[in-house]
Amino acid sequence: MQRLRLMTWCSSCVGGMHLPAFAAAEAGLFADRGLEVQFVAAARAPDYSLSGFTARVKAVAAGDADLALTSVAYLLAAQTEASGRLPVRFVAACHQRNPIVGVVREGSGLQAPRDLAGARAARWSIPWYTQEYAGAMHALGLGTPQIVDVPGDLDHALASGVVDVIPTWMDMTLYHLDAGFGVRTIPLDLPVYSTGLVAADHLADEVAGQVRDAFAAGHELQREDPEVGLAGFRRRFPDISEDHVRANWKLYASYAFDGGLPGRMDRERWHDTVAYTARTHGLASVPAERLYRPQLAAAPSAAAAA
């Protein structure tokens, strides 16, 4: 049995994305492949900048974990600092399309991405979300949004008309649903990757592939039996409410099961992803092969997802 350490992510922000891994552990899908997976806490980011969030992938490179759930932007930022030499790459993609959305007031008249052209977008305590939103708007040919710095309450800024849009990930829109007024989300839906499972380069392709297949199978199992992954997740994170995790899973699942099998990686989409992420965040356009393992780009086997 090969022992591996998998670093979790923000359990309250993207809790649903954790459930397939916990489902795989609970149901013995890792063990069936000769793997013993231990979940370890995410490395603490020193600040909320994009550079600050590179702490997670750097921790994997340093040997604090063998695998981690993380963001493409975090890894590309770390690879930019390391001139592409950081020994960490994606072995499975989670969101199969970019989950960046604009949260707007329900009665605002803003309905579709084209309506967001020229709208005032909040730049808040995690500024790279607004950068991601601006990059998506540019990619869709909708121009550059007006950016308004909001150091305080985002919902108040939206309700009072200081801003028209709160840029965030779809998974994080739950925080705005109880603001005291109606909101809706406008997904920008770019066909590029944004999150996934990374592995240290020291893991053999065969091992990384087994983890990837168990992770993919965990998605299918979690969809069939929502209690499996939730049980393991709640033991690890008892302070996160069941309602929050269930709701977050529903938001995440619509992206993870977006055609084909979950966890899959497509070579062409990876090249598009690197180009988009580098342009959006002012990062180096390193070869896509420094972000993902090309040899694992084929979709997980049908047997793994059964």
State pLDDT tens for residues 47-90.
999 999 999 999 999 999 999 999 999 999 999 999 999 999 99
Residue 201 carries which side chain, given as an amino acid letter? Answer: D
Do residues 174 and 248 make contact, with C-beta atoms less than 8 angstroms apart? Answer: yes
What pLDDT, on the 0 to 100 scale, is given for residue 261? 84
What pLDDT, on the 0 to 100 scale, is given for residue 300? 52
pLDDT tens for 271-280 read: 999 999 999 9
Strand, helix or coil at 254? helix
Map 7-75 to HEC letters: ECCCCCCCHHHHHHHHHHHHCCCCHHHCEEEEEECCCCCCCCCCCHHHHHHHHHHCCCCCEEEEEHHHH
Strand locations in the chain (E): 2-7, 35-40, 67-71, 88-93, 100-105, 120-123, 146-149, 166-169, 183-187, 195-200
What pLDDT, on the 0 to 100 scale, is given for residue 179? 81
pLDDT tens for 149-197 read: 999 999 999 999 999 999 999 999 999 988 889 999 999 999 999 999 9
| Separation of alpha carbons 85 and 179, rounded Å | 44
pLDDT tens for 225-269 read: 999 999 999 999 999 999 999 999 999 999 999 977 899 999 999
Reply yes or no on whether the pLDDT at 303 is more than 70.
Answer: no
Do residues 265 and 242 make contact, with C-beta atoms less than 8 angstroms apart? Answer: no
What pLDDT, on the 0 to 100 scale, is given for residue 256? 97
User: Quick one: pLDDT band at residue 306, thresholds 50, 70, 90?
Assistant: very low
What pLDDT, on the 0 to 100 scale, is given for residue 302? 40
Q: In the numeric block, which tokens belong to residue 227?
A: 């209690």
Length of the chain: 306
What pLDDT, on the 0 to 100 scale, is given for residue 212? 97
Do residues 271 and 72 make contact, with C-beta atoms less than 8 angstroms apart? Answer: no
Share of the chain above pLDDT 90, in %: 94
What pLDDT, on the 0 to 100 scale, is given for residue 157? 97
How far is C-alpha 283 from the chain's CA centre?
A: 18
Reply yes or no on whether the pLDDT at 304 is more than 60.
Answer: no
Do residues 128 and 167 make contact, with C-beta atoms less than 8 angstroms apart? Answer: no
Do residues 166 and 176 make contact, with C-beta atoms less than 8 angstroms apart? Answer: yes
Mean pLDDT of 21-46: 97
pLDDT tens for 127-154 read: 999 999 999 999 999 999 999 999 999 9
Average pLDDT score, the chain = 95
What pLDDT, on the 0 to 100 scale, is given for residue 176? 94
